[in-house]
Amino acid sequence: MAMRHLTHHPKTPSEANGMSRWWRHYNPVRTAFNYAIVQLAARCPFMGMKRGLYRCLGARIGKNVSIAPDVILDFVTPELIEIGDGALIGYGALILAHEFLPDGYATGRTVIGPHCLVGARATILAGVRIGEGAQVGAMALVSSDIPANVLAAGVPARVVRKLDARRGPEKPRS
């Protein structure tokens, strides 16, 4: 599996770490607005409204995407998140597009392909690409790319098996 696709931004000499002066890199008013919208969307029961709220932040949300309650999209860089048509994001999932580091911070486009399933409480790190039709197990930590039409699970997430693109998981052969 491919590693994450990140752009690294080094800290300045006056910064203790990548998060110590975050307001110099991101507009605090816009960040607070984004946070409020993400929290509202996480509690919104209406799929259409939820998709609309995320789109107003710049996230690319496809048609017929289903996002369960308590899903949190990155509120610092939501414009770097893309979720393909027909994807289903499970309860309490976390989808990131940035990370603060001791020596700076990193950003990366996070892409969840069409018709993917992201299980409950899964965490998708910044710069990860999940291929079309892939399924990510509940509570998985996706720290590298996941190919299309596979089931990935665990911490860190690893491919468990290939999926038949039309029928779901293949049955183990006896």
Domains (ranges, CATH) in the chain? 22-164 (2.160.10.10)
Task: Name the residue with higher pLDDT: 12 or 81.
Answer: 81
Strands annotated E in the chain: 7-10, 60-61, 66-67, 72-73, 81-83, 88-89, 94-95, 98-101, 104-107, 110-112, 117-118, 123-124, 129-130, 135-136, 141-142, 150-153, 158-164, 168-169
Given pLDDT bands bounded at 50, 70 and 90, which one contains residue 104?
confident
Catalytic residue numbers read: 98
Cβ proximity of 127 and 108 under 8 Å = yes
Nearest to residue 157, comparing CAs of 138, 170, 171, 172? 138
Quote the CA–CA distance of 76 and 34 in Å, as a whole number: 7
Task: Name the residue with higher pLDDT: 9 or 54.
Answer: 54
Cβ proximity of 108 and 96 under 8 Å = no
Task: Name the residue with higher pLDDT: 3 or 173.
Answer: 3
pTM of the model: 0.89
- Residue 57's pLDDT is 95
Radius of gyration of the chain (CA): 17
Contact residues for 171 (Cβ-Cβ < 8 A; gap 6+): none
pLDDT in tens, 75-90: 999 999 999 999 999 9
Residue 138 pLDDT exceeds 80: yes
Quote the CA–CA distance of 132 and 134 in Å, as a whole number: 6
Report, as an integer, the average pLDDT of 104-112: 93
Report, as an integer, the average pLDDT of 112-117: 97
Cβ proximity of 79 and 99 under 8 Å = no
